[in-house]
Amino acid sequence: MHDILYHQHHLDNYDHLEFPGVVPRTFIGAFLVSMLASPLVFAISFLQLPKIYALIGVRLALGGIVLYTLRFFRIQVRDKFGHQVEAFFVILTAIQFHLLFYCSRALPNILAMSVVNVAYGYWFRGNFYAALNSLIFATAVFRCDMVLLLCPLALELLLTKRISLRGAIKYCSGVALLSIGLSVLVDSMMWRKLLWPEFEIFWFNSVLNRSSEWGTHSLHWYFSSALPRSLLAAYPLVLFGVVLDRRLLLYVFPVFSFILLYSKLPHKELRFIISSVPMLNLSAAVAANRIYNNRKKTTWKFLNLVMLGSFLISLGSTFVFFLASYNNYPSGHALKALHQTGQLADMDEKLVHIDTFSAMSGISRFCENDYPWRYSKEEGISLNEFRDRNFTYLISEHSAIDGFKCLYFVNGFSRARLQLGFPPIILVKVPKVYIHGNTKLKDAMQLKWPGCS
C-alpha cells in the first residue's frame, strides 16, 4: 500500500521484488484499500505531515471495510434472530480483543474475512449462490484456505436441497473464472511473471506441506488456545447456543468443519481462522439472549450472574491484551527515537539496517523518512560481517555487535505476571530491540544517546 500510494506506476521503486516473502500475495486488496485511503494520504502529503499518518489512514480504510461488512452481517442477524440477539452479538464482539485488533491489520486473512462476512450475510438472507460466489472470490483472490469453508457450506446447501449441483455450476463457474482471471491479470503485471498467487500458496502449503517450517502446534490448538483467547466469554456459550436454537446447527456446522479441517495443517495461527469468529459470536449471542430473558427463574438467575461476570472478565482481559499489544511492536518506537536523535548527526547520508525481527515488530515503509535517511532490510548478514559494512546505524534484536556501539534500547512485552494486590496483573517488559551506531563515524557517536546500560 505504501508503494502504491507513493511510487504509483514506478514499479522499479517497489520493494516486493527485492523482498518477495515466502510466497507471493495479491495486490488487489492493496489497490482497493489504497484507493479508499488516497484522498487522506494526498492531504497528508500536501500538508507535509510525517508519513506515519498515512499508515493510520490506510489502516482506518481497511478497518472501515471490515467493519462495514461486519455491519452487513449484523443486520442479517437482527432480521433473523431479533434485536436482542443483535445487541448481544455487538456486546460480545466489542468486549473481545482479537477480532477488532485484526480488523485494521494489512493481512490477506483480514481482506478474506471481509468477504466472508458478506458471504455470511447473503447466507442468512437466503441468497445462497451469492454466498458461495463471495467465498469463491475470497478463495481465488485472497486466501486459498477459504476453500475449507466453501466446501462444507456448499455440501450442506446441496444436501439440504437449497441449491442444486446444476445451479451451482451455472451461477458460480463464471465468478470463479473471473476471480482467477482478475488475480492473474493484476498480479502477473505487478510480479512481472505469469502468476496466480493463491494457487502457488496452495501448492506450497498443501502439496509441498512446507508451512510447518514456520512452526507447528498440536492438533487441538485452535480449540484449546486460539478460540478461548479470541472468543473469551463467548467461548463456553457457543455450544449452548446450538443446543438452545436448532437453527444454529446449520450455520455453525460448516464453520466448525472449517476449523476442524484447518487443524490438520501443522502450522497454526489465530489469523488463519479469524473469519470464523463472527459466526461463533452469533451462536454465543443466542445463548446469552436466552439466559438474559430467563434471568428471573431460579436456575437461570445463577447462569445470568455467571454470564455477566464473564463479560466483565472478558472486558478486563481485552484491556490487558491491549496493553500487551501496545508494547509488542518495539522496533517502531526504536526507529522513531533514531530519527529524532540521529538526525542531529552532521553527515550526508544515514544508512540504517533493519534486521528481520525488527521488520516484523513495528517497522513498515510508512515509518521511513526521506533523504538523508536510507534503509536496508538485507537478509543473511552474519553478526561478524557488519563491521565490514558501511551501515551508519543498526536496528537489531542483538544487544552487542562487533564494530558498533549500543546507543539505545526499547523494551517490549515479555509476559504477564499475577500478583496479590492492585493491579492483579503486571505486564513484564524486557529489552527487545537495540539501536547500534558505527564506531567509525564520530559524528554519530558524539550525540547524546541514552545508552544501553
SS3 per-residue string spanning 25-69: CCCHHHHHHHHHHHHHHHHHHHCCCCCHHHHHHHHHHHHHHHHHH
pLDDT band at 113 (very low <50, low <70, confident <90, very high): very high
Given a cut of 90, is residue 132 above it in pLDDT? yes
Q: CA-to-CA distance for 311 and 260, rounded, in angstroms?
A: 27
pLDDT value of position 177? 97
List residues bridging with 374 in a β-sheet: 351
Residue 342 vs residue 435, higher pLDDT: 435
Residues 369-420: tens digit of each pLDDT: 888 899 998 888 888 899 888 899 999 999 999 989 999 999 999 888 888 8
List residues bridging with 174 in a β-sheet: none
For the ranges 6-10, 100-104, 339-343, the lowest mean pLDDT is seen at 339-343
pLDDT value of position 370? 85
Helix axes 28-46, 52-81, angle to 10 degrees: 130
In which element (H, E) is residue 393 found?
Answer: strand 393-396
pLDDT band at 452 (very low <50, low <70, confident <90, very high): confident
Residue with cell 499518518: 53
Residues 150-200: tens digit of each pLDDT: 999 999 999 999 999 999 999 999 999 999 999 999 999 999 999 999 999
DSSP summary character for residue 203: I
Q: CA-to-CA distance for 361 and 359, rounded, in angstroms?
A: 6
Specify whether the CB–CB gap between 301 and 309 falls below 8 A.
Answer: no
DSSP 3-state helix, strand, coil percentages of the chain (rounded to 5)?
A: 60, 10, 30
pLDDT band at 140 (very low <50, low <70, confident <90, very high): very high
**Strand 425-438 relative to strand 393-396, pairing:** antiparallel
Q: CA-to-CA distance for 12 and 285, rounded, in angstroms?
A: 50
Residue with cell 467493519: 67
Distances in whole angstroms, Cα of residue 122 to Cα of each of 142, 163, 377 = 19, 14, 43
Residues 316-344: tens digit of each pLDDT: 999 999 989 988 899 999 999 898 888 77
pLDDT value of position 419? 82
Q: CA-to-CA distance for 217 and 210, rounded, in angstroms?
A: 14
pLDDT value of position 424? 82
pLDDT value of position 212? 75
pLDDT value of position 442? 80
CA dihedral over 82, 88, 91, 96, signed as positive or negative: negative
| Mean per-residue pLDDT of the chain | 92
pLDDT band at 425 (very low <50, low <70, confident <90, very high): confident
pLDDT value of position 422? 79
Averaged pLDDT for residues 429-452:
86
H-only helix segments in 95-143: 98-102, 108-125, 128-137
Residues 31-70: tens digit of each pLDDT: 999 999 999 999 999 998 988 999 999 999 999 999 999 9
Given a cut of 90, is residue 209 above it in pLDDT? no
Residue with cell 558498533: 404
In which element (H, E) is residue 239 found?
Answer: helix 234-244
